[in-house]
Amino acid sequence: MKNSMKKAALATTLLLTSAMATSAFAWGGKDHDDRDRRGYDDDRGRMEQRDEMGHSGMMGGFDKRMADRLAYELVLDADTTEKVKTLFAEAGDEMKSIRDQMRDLHKANRDIKPSDENYIATVTANAQKGSELHVKAMTKMAETQKALYALLTPEQIAKLEQIQENGMMHGKRGGKHH
């Protein structure tokens, strides 16, 4: 009986020790906050790298690859293709600026602490700025889409709407699934 009690005590001790070690490892230790910031910066770096490569990420879909894809799918002539590329390049630059400003607001909200004297006022001001940027982004997207439609024939517009309905312009190979 003493042997089984020793085994049970040893098993309990091992279980508690491994649980504590796992918990400490998951928490990250004394440098945990620094790792969080590095993770944010790493993520921002990846998003900036995607921007440079022509992958627009959130709120933006207007880039060279999208213009090339539209030219192919809608059988655009060379003149229209160039106009679409110019339109998308200009819109893409503005959308990138908006995304950068939104990332900066996000970082500002992460950095402020509830114990700061102007916490509520700062968060409220940042929320208002974020709302204004969101409206600006949606408006720019709508203006760009309207300008794109002005460049297309009625047949090309119909085909574009069919493609968009099926979700194929955003990398969904099979389109919508019901």
Encode pLDDT of 11-45 as tens digits: 665 555 555 555 444 555 555 454 444 554 555 55
List of residues 6+ apart from 92 with CB closer than 8 A? 56, 60, 62, 63
pLDDT digits (tens, 9 = 90+) for 38-88: 554 555 555 555 555 544 444 456 778 888 999 999 999 999 999 999 999
The shares of helix, strand and coil residues in the chain, as percent rounded to the nearest 5, are 80, 0, 20
pLDDT digits (tens, 9 = 90+) for 109-145: 999 999 999 999 999 999 999 999 999 999 999 999 9
| Residue range of the domain that includes 119 | 33-170
- Provide the domain count of the chain: 1
Residue 61 lies in a domain: yes
Burial status of residue 91 (CB atoms within 10 A of its CB: 0-12, 13-18, 19 or more) = buried
Residue 154 lies in a domain: yes
The position carrying tokens 């508690």 is: 16
Residue 156 lies in a domain: yes
Distance, in Å, from the CA atom of 176 to the CA atom of 173, rounded to the nearest integer, reads 9
CB 89: neighbour CB atoms within 10 A? 13
Residue 121 lies in a domain: yes
User: What is the reported pTM?
Assistant: 0.61
Residue 18 lies in a domain: no
Distance, in Å, from the CA atom of 62 to the CA atom of 65, rounded to the nearest integer, reads 8
Residue 177 lies in a domain: no
Alpha helices (H) in 112-153, listed in sequence order: 119-151
Residue 123: C-alpha distances to residues 44, 58, 90, 98, 99 (Å): 21, 22, 31, 19, 18
Residue 85 lies in a domain: yes
Residue 8 lies in a domain: no
* HSE of 168, CA atoms in CB hemisphere, 13 A: 15
List of residues 6+ apart from 89 with CB closer than 8 A? 64
